[in-house]
Structure 1
Amino acid sequence: MKKTFGVFVFIMILFLGCKQQSKKEKSQISINKKPNIIFLFSDDQTFKAVHALGNKEIITPTMDKLVAEGTTFTHAYNMGGWNGAICVASRAMIISGRSIWRAQQISGNYSKNEDLDKTWPRLMEVQGYETYMTGKWHVNAKADSIFNHVGHVLRGMPFDTPEGYNRPKSKNDTLWKPWKKEFGGYWKGGKHWSELVKDDAVSFINDASKKENPFFMYIAFNAPHDPRQSPKKYVDMYSLKDISIPESFMPEYPYAESMGAGKNLRDEKLAPFPRTEYSVKVNRQEYYAITTHLDDQIKDILNILEEKGLKENTYIFFTADHGLAIGEHGLIGKQNMYDHSMRVPLMVVGPNIPKGKKIDEDIYLQDVMATALEIAGIAKPKYIEFNSFLDLAKTAHSAKKYDAIYGTYEKASQRMIRKDGFKLILYPKSKTILLYDLENDPNELNNLSGDKKYQNKVKQLFNELIQMQKNMGDPLDLKEAFSI
């Protein structure tokens, strides 16, 4: 009996030892292989829509966790768009690595294999990455032509209905409710689209955890883009009386028509004209609610990553394709050059990335692509115009990435340059010039362009903007519209 028991104990020790060794070997393989990369992309999310980044009204514990666990770039920008769908230009830039006007040229040629081979996922695939995409696409190429694996490919925006526009006109205007599934939108198909994308991502991570190849995931949510729909419990988290009116609120923006963001622009039709404090509060309430619902979906993705033991060897990027006004400057949409519509949250979490660090340097959100390539060990091709910020994220001292930030909307509607704490905005059609001192006026309320003290600043920024136009292949001749 003693002999039998001794043999049993010996076998168990041998078994546990082998199991422990197997775990160590598996862990070592995980550490030695190329890191996984997850790109989380929201839609219409302004920098101001994250609790940890200064908005104490919004509830975003998962995004706050990304801020705490990684490095945040507090001044990340989108260049703008060539039409009202700003997301199209933003996504074309991030997939191709080109600046806006060259990205527009490329976006019509993705039927050519050589152009497909130059896209972000194809470059990752060459380095041995399993590539995956789910969610909003809105790129002029088939997702399954450049990704190994594809979940749901969702349209540019959820199907909306007339009831979602020009509302609310008053407190009696109660037909629309964000949780009413009969209005379609995010509810079309039965499951909220944010949950659909989350489920896709969780499923892929679960499968990927059983494989040795590193993976690159492009997870693109439609939220918090309108129609701003979410389950009732999320809307109930926000009382209208607790939602503040933005400091830049105004009933109507005086240059809306000349800048190409007038009453006929789809985004601007969401709320009544002139804007009322009540309609802005309701729009912001629903915007906050769908953002919190999105935050919960991201939480589930991060949880499965940790549960499967993949987090320690994974870089996570979170950003949005552009921001949104939702009542600032009398505007509802994103077709403008103000920070609320161009500036986005951008966080990176991963191996050797400092925790809780914030970097104020101006960058473009599309720099995520170049950063991911560096992480994957891919030499940046010459055609990629954006820059990796990996060195900036990891160290306190790094070369400045950009001398200035460029912004544009449509071929001739708006141009912008942001440099040295100032922003110059031009509306060529009405010959309007706006100059803001961003250090002393972060909400961009006080136009200094008519002040004699700032005429040299206007000229300096104008001339530098002309040079940036040349560098980027911008077709607009600003000198024809302005005699500065």
Structure 2
Amino acid sequence: MLVGTATLPHPSIPPGRFAVIRIFSLVPLVVAALVTFAEAADSKQPNILFIFADDQSYETTGYRGMTQVKTPHIDQLAKQSLSFNRAYNQGSWSGAVCVASRTMLNTGRFVWHANDVYNTTEKERQEGRLWSEHLKKAGYQTYMTGKWHIKANAQKAFDVTGHVRGGMPQQTPEGYDRPKSKDDKTWQPWDKKFGGFWEGGKHWSEVVGDEAVSFLETAAKDDKPFFMYIAFNAPHDPRQSPKEFVDMYPAEEVEVPEDFLPVYPENKEIGCAPTLRDEHLAPFPRTKYAVQVNRQEYFAIITHMDQQIGRILEALEQTGKADNTYVFFTADHGLACGHHGLMGKQNSYDHSIRVPLLISGPQIKPGENEAAVYLQDIMPTTLELAGISKPDHVEFESLLPVALGEKETSYDAIYNAYLNLQRSITEDGFKLMIYPKANTIKLFNLTEDPHEMKNLADDPKYASRKKELFATFQMWQEKVGDKLKIDPTLVD
């Protein structure tokens, strides 16, 4: 007698995929079947290595060839990976965009829903709703080192932790409003007297590398599947690295972005005035030389971080477990660092909301994918790989159906928000930006104008496009819990 159907892990199906098993006979046999398949699934669970950068824009990887930055080890990983070329962060309720990004990632909730639980993420941990807690319950040995920056206890959220860092390394007064001229050599990235990444004697990226390698050496002797959350503070400012890395990028040879501006016109209205900490890193108005120096140091600390990532990937190979390990690489958000007269990540331009996103593993065919996704989709992806049903509170989507060609995309559009000062919606190659306080909008054709330099908002040819995008935006407001009222006449 047919008593039911169930979606269960099956030993003949690759890790993370499922088959519908029709169960016949009596209840004891049903239970036996469940136990058998559960045990088979446990033996096949893949390892998960998650590598997380801080402030790294999608354009700052060598394999994309968009800037002068050198990332040989990330490039090698990219050759073995599927690159999601349009991966986004959904926004922030705080100037510390990393807090919102990481809270979304670890809770699986959309931005404003994540904000609702931000001060109760310790409760979320206790209830087993954080990313690591789901994997713990599924039998994973969980490990974390580096930047945490959400309101939950990392030492309790993971089985093992290394150094758990807070937000940014301590900045110094000398690190701001610089360089004022080509003669300004007061602050140097390799000078350890300024602390920051050098606090404690060893560069924090190297500490993360050391600790991740050490855990992998231990994991090599254990049959239990592992989940590693490796979170670099780099390339966040203060952008410090050893001199040999800075010397790779002579300042006068660093390319200034095509969209360079001395001052962003609406900087005050969108919350990016000189008083914002990130924007205070370089002088106002911007000079091309100041942008060159900031990008020199940005590229240098990325290349230094890349070296540590290379060490981690080599250690993974030496464990003998690489063939059954999924590796994810991304960042919490991007960074302007000289684009559009801006320095920080508190804006809606692609350089600040798009990130690199690589996934490699047994089922993944290397290549590139242009589907618009969120970086936070990594969380439900790993749950699916581990054989965990998607929890009700997780709103982001697994990347696997797109990665395996089962569907073209997960989202009809990409929503982004910053405080109550900025909103944007990206759909079908166009982006609508809304500045409520400035009472203005901007419209960009991203296909023809990837640097977002030509505002089409006042062009009559795009009147219907503006309204279509605004209608999509309103639907997304409801979906993500965005209660900000926007005057619809802005798009008239």
**TM-score, normalised relative to structure 2:** 0.90
**Which residue of 2 is the match for residue 228 of structure 1?**
239
Q: Deviations over 1:248-302 (max 9, x none)?
A: 0010000110011111100000000000000000000000000000000000001
In the TM superposition, structure 1's runs of 4+ consecutive aligned residues that sit over 2 Å from their partners are 29-33, 110-116, 479-484
Confirm whether residue 76 of structure 1 aligns to residue 87 of structure 2. yes
**Which residue of 2 is the match for residue 339 of structure 1?**
350
RMSD (CA atoms):
1.6
Q: Structure 2 CA distance, aligned partners of 1:318 and 1:378?
A: 21
Cα deviation for residue 456 of structure 1 reads: 1.1
Cα deviation for residue 460 of structure 1 reads: 1.3
Q: Deviations over 1:223-264 (max 9, x none)?
A: 000000000000011122321110100100001100111111
Match of 1:94 among 99, 105, 119: 105
Q: Which runs of 5+ in 2 are unaligned?
A: 1-39
Aligned partners of 2:59 and 2:67 also within 8 Å: no
Aligned partners of 1:246 and 1:328 also within 8 Å: yes
> What secondary structure is seen at the aligned counterpart in 2 of 1:264?
coil
Cα deviation for residue 403 of structure 1 reads: 0.3
Task: Look up the equivalent residue of 1:200 and give its one-letter code.
Answer: E
Q: Structure 2 CA distance, aligned partners of 1:265 and 1:448?
A: 28
Aligned partners of 1:404 and 1:419 also within 8 Å: yes
Closer, same or farther: CA 171–199 of 1 in aligned 2, 3 Å? same
Cα deviation for residue 83 of structure 1 reads: 1.2
Confirm whether residue 159 of structure 1 aligns to residue 167 of structure 2. no
Confirm whether residue 184 of structure 1 aligns to residue 195 of structure 2. yes
Cα deviation for residue 145 of structure 1 reads: 2.1
Confirm whether residue 364 of structure 1 aligns to residue 374 of structure 2. yes
**Which residue of 1 is the match for residue 114 of structure 2?**
103
Q: How does 1:112-123 map to 2 (within 5 A)?
A: 112=123, 116-123=127-134
Q: Structure 1 CA distance, aligned partners of 2:76 and 2:401?
A: 22
Q: Structure 2 CA distance, aligned partners of 1:481 and 1:208?
A: 59
Q: Structure 1 CA distance, aligned partners of 2:41 and 2:478?
A: 46
**Which residue of 1 is the match for residue 403 of structure 2?**
393
Structure number with greater Rg is 1
Identical columns (%): 51
Cα deviation for residue 430 of structure 1 reads: 1.1
Cα deviation for residue 33 of structure 1 reads: 3.3
**Which residue of 2 is the match for residue 402 of structure 1?**
411
Q: Structure 1 CA distance, aligned partners of 2:161 and 2:415?
A: 33
> What secondary structure is seen at the aligned counterpart in 2 of 1:340?
helix
Match of 2:252 among 241, 246, 249: 241
Q: Structure 2 CA distance, aligned partners of 1:184 and 1:111?
A: 31
> What secondary structure is seen at the aligned counterpart in 2 of 1:329?
helix
Q: How does 1:255-270 map to 2 (within 5 A)?
A: 255-270=266-281
Confirm whether residue 443 of structure 1 aligns to residue 451 of structure 2. yes
Cα deviation for residue 483 of structure 1 reads: 6.5
Task: Look up the equivalent residue of 1:382 and give its one-letter code.
Answer: D
Q: Deviations over 1:75-129 (max 9, x none)?
A: 0000111111000000000000000000011111134267641110000011100
Confirm whether residue 193 of structure 1 aligns to residue 204 of structure 2. yes
> What secondary structure is seen at the aligned counterpart in 2 of 1:202?
helix
**Which residue of 1 is the match for residue 463 of structure 2?**
455
> What secondary structure is seen at the aligned counterpart in 1 of 2:179?
coil
Confirm whether residue 414 of structure 1 aligns to residue 422 of structure 2. yes
**Which residue of 2 is the match for residue 24 of structure 1?**
none
Aligned partners of 1:106 and 1:115 also within 8 Å: no
Aligned partners of 1:431 and 1:481 also within 8 Å: no
Q: Deviations over 1:296-317 (max 9, x none)?
A: 0000001111112111111000
Farther-moved stretch of structure 1 (472-481 vs 65-74): 472-481
Task: Look up the equivalent residue of 1:380 and give its one-letter code.
Answer: K
Task: Look up the equivalent residue of 2:418 and give its one-letter code.
Answer: Y
Confirm whether residue 304 of structure 1 aligns to residue 307 of structure 2. no
Closer, same or farther: CA 322–409 of 1 in aligned 2, 3 Å? same
Q: Structure 2 CA distance, aligned partners of 1:111 and 1:73?
A: 31
Q: Deviations over 1:206-236 (max 9, x none)?
A: 1111111100010000000000000000001
Closer, same or farther: CA 69–30 of 1 in aligned 2, 3 Å? farther
Confirm whether residue 379 of structure 1 aligns to residue 389 of structure 2. yes
Q: Structure 1 CA distance, aligned partners of 2:489 and 2:228?
A: 44
Aligned partners of 1:240 and 1:285 also within 8 Å: yes
> What secondary structure is seen at the aligned counterpart in 2 of 1:348?
strand
> What secondary structure is seen at the aligned counterpart in 2 of 1:325?
coil
Q: Structure 2 CA distance, aligned partners of 1:318 and 1:428?
A: 34
Q: Structure 1 CA distance, aligned partners of 2:125 and 2:101?
A: 21
For these two proteins, the number of residue pairs brought into alignment is 453
Closer, same or farther: CA 31–303 of 1 in aligned 2, 3 Å? farther
